[in-house]
Structure 1
Amino acid sequence: MLRQRLFCGLVLLAAPCLASASVRTWPTTGPCASGTLQACINGAVDGDIVEVASNAVINESLSFGVPLTLRAASGYAPRIAVDQVITATATIDGDYAIEGFTLQRGFVYVTHSAGNANVRVRRVRVLAPMATGPAQISLYNNTTSPLSYDIGENDLAFAWDTYDGAIHAALQVLDTQTGSSEGRIHENRIAAAGAWAAGVLVVSNNRTHTTRVDGNWVRGGSSYGSIDLRQGSFSGGAGTLTAYVVNNVVTPLRQPADAYGIKAEANAGGLALQAFNNTVTGAYSGVNVYAASGTTLSGRIANNLLAGNILNLAYSNSGSGGVDNDHNLLFGGSTSGITPGAGAVTADPLLRGAPGNPWLNPGSPAIDVADSAGLSSVLASAGLARLDGAGLRRFKGAANAADIGALEYGDTTFLHRSANPPASVYSTLDDASVNAQASHRPQLTANWNPDGSTGLYWNHAVSAYWNSITSRWSLRDEDLVPFGDDVRFNLFAPAGGDGNFAHVATAANVSGFTTRLAASGLDDAPDRILLVTRNSVDPGGTVYDDVHPFGVFYFAFGGPGSWFVSHLDSTVMGEGGGYNVYWQAPSANAYRHLATAGNIAGNYTLLDHPLLNDHACARPHVTQSAGQGVFNGHQVGVWYTGSRWSVFNQDGAAMPVNAEFDVIVDAQQAFECNDVIFADGFD
């Protein structure tokens, strides 16, 4: 009954969206069944969605001038041929979106000419720049009409090595007229090679412009700055640029360093800068702020990790007002025009690899000493989730405190292999992240062939078991079958704090085949991403076995919603024992994967993520979800196909369409196993 109600609720929620837009799939349906993709686009009208259900190379430049969404169909990764581009012109009210394409050598260019436009460019990959040096993603506003934008999760390989007086950025937003703009540039991965290449550029002139630049990884940049924010650069200007620059990692390509890391300047008008929890290493200037005469400056520079830069902080203000600074870690460089404020740290941050690997080692003086309250306030003001620069939880540990810098210390991923002999239903974990750490409740995902090794199935229900006598975590086969030799599991050991708790199945929360979860921040939050692992021991020390496959779903019917753990084979949920639960807000590295006809092959569905693709050493973490009303009643694991990671049914059953999976990618583990974020041997 609950499953039926869940499905009906989803249908009701989806109906308005389906009624307001026509989905045109190329090259498979209706008027888009044959002919060019551009012809399919030309036939679309205001509000349509054009989906590309093809992995082939498309030898066309694409353009549109009405509000529509041009995107890859679920499970597909279309590629645009060399020197072909995608352009859009926003001329009337509506949404203009480009999502999921790979350009071999080209760019995406959107012009806002009229109307109240919402522009979205997401999950676009550009493999090489064009010879003339245009930005690979560019948004240009030349109207007084309102503009909003979302430019995120893009992967850009840019280069420019010639000085010609212009700023050549991989990603740029240029805003020249009066009126208002607001937007977000987030979770992009940018390599900006060459002596005169910048990473992210935002220029505002006469408008009231608010931008949030967060969670980007930028490598490279020139004297213009890897993240460059400019107010009043076009012949003066009386506007105000409000910039939230949060959780970015900036590392230069060029050595010796001559690049700015983060640069913010007011040439006319006003600049309000909130630069929080960024990490900049190995640059000429870590954070550089400039205000010309007649301008107004305000804001705060706090919680930034600035190490190994020639100038960690540089400040020049000839205008009115000023920017405060506090709680920054400044190491291995000097400051100019500014005195480090309260809470400054001047010790070695103990990075795992300077300047290339920006994560913290144990014992770093940056751990838990940020101004957590100030960061919380800035995130709330900017409308940003409580995440770090890797898209995982920001506030961790017993005190839920934040670290200085973009990347939070505390979560760990490791591979566990069972050993046989001795043959046992227990397999003891041995890693510093979980040994004697009862609050680091591990999440497990079966791994068929780690590092591309020989595959091994294990079609059994496996739980996590805390032994209070030995203070060690073990894995336990719930059906009491002894572990085979060398059964493999990806283990995610989250630090304690909000988002990590033990749920006990009791009479008060068990109903039918479900048990209701409850936690502050999780209740009434349908977007949360969860990992759940069975914990067979209840607080009284009694072991309760549960051999049924399970997953999570969110349900709201006539009131506040809740998350549930459900038996996916629809058997009754028993009382006793419980689950280790990890949850967080969604991000590029914490997302929901949908199995579709485009990504299903037999008993598995292919994942598509830049930190996983082509990297056998990655360790993805997965929990089943039933958000689409599809219950995949099978034990699952992950396996590497030779180029992609996938989720598979251990018993060989066909993967159903619309099965869902919550996926966590530990960016630190992916980085350190193959430096897939900046893979050029910089360290």
Structure 2
Amino acid sequence: MKNILILIMTVISLPAAAFSFWPGGAAPCNTTLQACIDGSPVGEYIEIRTNSTINENIFANKAVSLVAANGYKPKFSVGNNVQVYANGAYTVRVKGLTLLGGSMQVVGAGAPHSIYVTHNDVTHTNANVASIRVYNTSYDDIHFDVSYNRVHTNFLNSPSDEFGAISVYKTIGNGTATGRVYGNTVTAVGIESRGIMLNERVGGGIDMNVIGNEIYGATQGGVYVLSEHNNSDIHAKIGSNAFYRHDDFYFPSGVHLEALDGDIEAEIVNNSMIESRYGVDIIEVPGAMVDAYVYNNLVAYGITGFYFPAAATVTHDYNLVYDVTSNTGYTPGPNALSINPQIVGLQNARLRPGSPAIDSAQSIALLALGGSPFIDADGGIRMKKKGSGAAQLDIGAYESGDVFYTHVNKGTGSYISTLDHPDLNGDSGADEIHITSNWSHNGAVGPYNNDNEGIYYTGGKWRVFNEGLVDIEPNAAFNVAKFAAVSNTFEHEVTAAGNNYTNINKSGLDGQSQRILQVTQHWTGTYNDHPPGVWYGFGKWNISNLDLVNIPNGANYNVYFQEPSKSAWEHVASAANIVSNRTTLDNPIINGVPCAQVHVTQSVSQGVYNAHPVGVYYSGGYWRVYNQDLAAMPVDAAFHVVVSPEQVAACSDLIFKDGFD
């Protein structure tokens, strides 16, 4: 059975298109990258295996994918751009590239297909065009996914055209550009700067979800939606985005809707606009139409909160507007608030404990975002339980409620260590607690904990223990998380012995192969001294003993799951990121942050069973996952990783960085 599963999962993990790599590949990929592209067939998946700076200006006049190989960070030198003209029914990916001073453009043409522009880092100065520009020049529908990019654009004061740092638009009056702009970090500088722009200038449709982005600057609009043609039809779902000032001058404008002709329909839900020139600004000229649904937004410390012209159709309530100079066309709804939101800071709009915005949003308003991920600006789940009541929704871009801390063992001579935290104590039914061994807490070194850890509850407190009854060394540290999204946490008990894996049956997981999971052994009477991992097959998620020993009846697990986000992802070990018994994580949220609290669960997505206890540690600017018994880390070992940007900001002492108190 194991070999069958490995074969299935390995086949699933391979790119569907033809595959080649550069540099060092077979001809035509044995000279320049441009020659590799020119000589490759349409639909080729080109993996870039270098950390060196590439001094080439790339133009692909065909549908090819350009993807940084796992463990590599290819960089393009200043003045060089990457352009792909994706013509035909091929999936195209541009992923993991760094542009030190240039722009990225991917064009969808021909038959319906999908384009993914993800995990890129683009810096663009004196910009006259978008840093990342995707557009549809097809009569058919093109799906765009622009996610997890980091973009810094310094615009010219008088650009020749209207673009955002990230721009999505159409050039043909038929077909629809669909998809999402998700989990990006965008800085747009200049008096004409825009953050994320949706522009319909020739007719046809744009239907995009703009979710979970953090935008700095963008004085003309953090999310700028522009309709310019009488046959234009734009539908924008704009949720859980945070808008901030850049430096001392470039104050943001949150959401700007401008209908010069045609129609704009927008759902603007659960965003935070801090120090904005406008929170939401609507322009509708005669003959055009704007229909906006504005709920659960937090607008504070700005100039104009809401600008709603009389001609526009605006439905609104449950917004918190505080300390703005004026509003136009806005009369607070019956559930609106106008009191101090008690945010952490002007560059950190997360809510302090006791904030009136906590649990004060209308939960059903999230449904207006349709199929968008219900993910906040940190990449965590919306709607969390903050006490003994039901899970509810906060106003603004960030959801409060999760607990992250590090427990350090102070005892000796025992395989048990008692957790002591007010949010855990007395909560015997908590299925949302998870642990990960941390070898480098607060810069300390070690000790190892070479055993399979679990947790259990007794006497009013939770405890960490070693399933193999091995003593936990003094100063051994464990990252502890209590995830408050109770709809996504549960206990799973094995009720039928005889297999080394157990099927999970759970709505929200079944049929969802891309979910990110955390699994912690939760002792309720049955020991299972084996390393656990997860895998997906035949429509179900499963938990396995990675050493393939049968799981005993009564073994019990805490399980957490969520959609992938910028703070929840799968890491795969490769020859380029492995040293000895460890593999290096690379995520800008935690890079350079030794106080980050990283949580990992092993995955068998690539067909590799890493049958060893694991932990995390920090060194040289990066976090790493390591085998506790010092066994070599195998290529294609995989890990589901979850971190908290809120915890990272707090431990990095960013709370009063802007002088806000």
Aligning the two structures, in what range does the TM-score lie when normalised by the shorter sequence? over 0.9
Cα 1:425–1:114, aligned 2, differ >3 Å: closer, same or farther?
closer
The farther-off stretch of 364-373 and 107-116 is 107-116
Residue in structure 2 matching 1:393, options 372, 381, 387:
381
Counterpart in the other structure of 1:505: 494
Q: Residue deviations 1:62-119, cap 9 Å, x none? A: 1101111111112211111122111122344433331110111111123456554533
1:43/1:682 Cα in 2 relative to 1: closer, same or farther (>3 Å)?
farther
Q: Distance in 1 between matches of 2:490 and 2:231?
A: 50
Aligned residue pairs: how many? Answer: 653
State the match for 2:427 in structure 1. Answer: 437
Give the whole-Å Cα distance in 2 for the aligned partners of 1:134 and 1:649: 47
Partner of 1:9: 8
Tell whether the 8 Å contact from 2:198 to 2:226 is kept in structure 1 after alignment.
Answer: yes
- Mark the runs of 5 or more structure 1 residues left unpaired by the alignment: none
1:203 aligns with 2:199: yes
Greater alpha carbon shift after TM alignment, 255-264 vs 241-250? 255-264
Post-superposition CA distance 1:133-192 (Å, at most 9, x none): 432112244554533311111001222362457545321123243112223111110122
The residue aligned with 1:67 is 63
1:315-326 equivalent positions in 2, closer than 5 A: 315-318=308-311, 322-326=313-317
- TM-fit CA distance, 1:300: 0.6
Q: Which amino acid aligns with 2:489?
A: N
Distance 1:103 1:153 in 2: 15
Query: What's the CA shift for 1:476?
Result: 1.5
Conservation of the 8 A alpha-carbon contact between 1:434 and 1:440:
no
The answer for the alignment partner of 2:588 in structure 1 is 610
Is 1:670–2:648 an aligned residue pair?
yes
Match status 1:245 vs 2:238: yes
Give 1:586's match in structure 2, choosing from 560, 564, 567.
564
Aligned to 1:458: 449
Secondary structure, counterpart of 1:94 in structure 2: coil
Residues 1:553 and 2:535 aligned together: yes
Amino acid of the residue matched to residue 517 of structure 1?
A: I
Q: Does 1:219 align with 2:216?
A: yes
Cα distance in 1, alignment partners of residues 361 and 84 from structure 2: 42
CA distance in 1, matches of 2:275, 2:60: 42
Per the alignment, do residues 295 and 105 of structure 1 end up closer, same or farther by CA in structure 2, a change over 3 Å counting? same
Pairing of 1:60-459 with structure 2 (within 5 A): 60-112=56-108, 115-116=111-112, 118-126=114-122, 128-142=123-137, 144-160=139-155, 162-163=157-158, 166-167=161-162, 169-180=164-175, 181-205=177-201, 206-222=203-219, 224-232=220-228, 236-253=229-246, 255=248, 258-318=251-311, 322-333=313-324, 334-353=326-345, 355-375=346-366, 377-379=367-369, 381=370, 383-397=371-385, 398-420=389-411, 422-438=412-428, 439=430, 441-459=432-450
Q: Is the 8 A contact 1:327 1:371 kept in 2?
A: yes
- 2:481: which partner in 1? 492
TM-score, normalising length: structure 1: 0.90
For 1:296 and 1:210, the matched residues in 2 are separated by 16
Q: Per the alignment, do residues 527 and 277 of structure 1 end up closer, same or farther by CA in structure 2, a change over 3 Å counting? A: same
2:197 partner SS: strand
> What does the per-residue CA deviation read over 1:276-305, in whole Å, with 9 as the maximum and x for residues that have no partner?
111111112111122111112223111111
> TM-score, normalized by length of structure 2?
0.93
Give me the whole-angstrom Cα distance separating, in 2, the residues matched to 1:10 and 1:164.
49
Match of 1:41 among 18, 37, 62: 37
**3-state DSSP of counterpart to 1:130:** strand
Q: Does 1:564 align with 2:560?
A: no
CA contact (8 A) 2:431 2:491 kept: no
* Cα displacement string for residues 245-304 of structure 1 (whole angstroms, at most 9, x for unaligned residues): 111111122547753111112111111011111111111211112211111222311111
Amino acid at match of 1:220: G
- Contact 1:257 1:283 (C-alpha < 8 Å) held by counterparts: no
Higher mean C-alpha deviation, range 82-91 or range 51-60: 82-91
Counterpart-to-counterpart distance in 1, 2:50 and 2:536:
32
| Gap change, CA 1:256 and 1:435, over 3 Å in 2 | farther
After superposition, the CA RMSD in angstroms is 2.4
Q: Percent identity?
A: 32
1:118–1:562 CA distance, 2 compared to 1 (3 A) = closer
| Partner deviation per Cα, 1:568-617 (whole Å, 9 max, x = no partner) | 11112112341111111222221111112222221111111111222222
Residues 478 and 546, structure 1, Cα contact 8 Å, conserved in 2: yes
How far 1:410 moved relative to its partner?
Answer: 0.8
Where 1:323 maps in the other structure, the secondary structure is: strand
Counterparts in 2 of 1:8 and 1:111: CA distance versus 1, 3 Å: closer
Distance 1:132 1:481 in 2: 60
Q: Is 2:251–2:275's contact at 8 Å kept on the other side of the alignment?
A: no
Query: Aligned letter for 2:208?
Result: T
Q: Residue 151 of structure 1 aligns to a residue in which SS?
A: strand
Q: Verify the 8 A CA contact 1:518 1:562 in the aligned structure 2.
A: yes
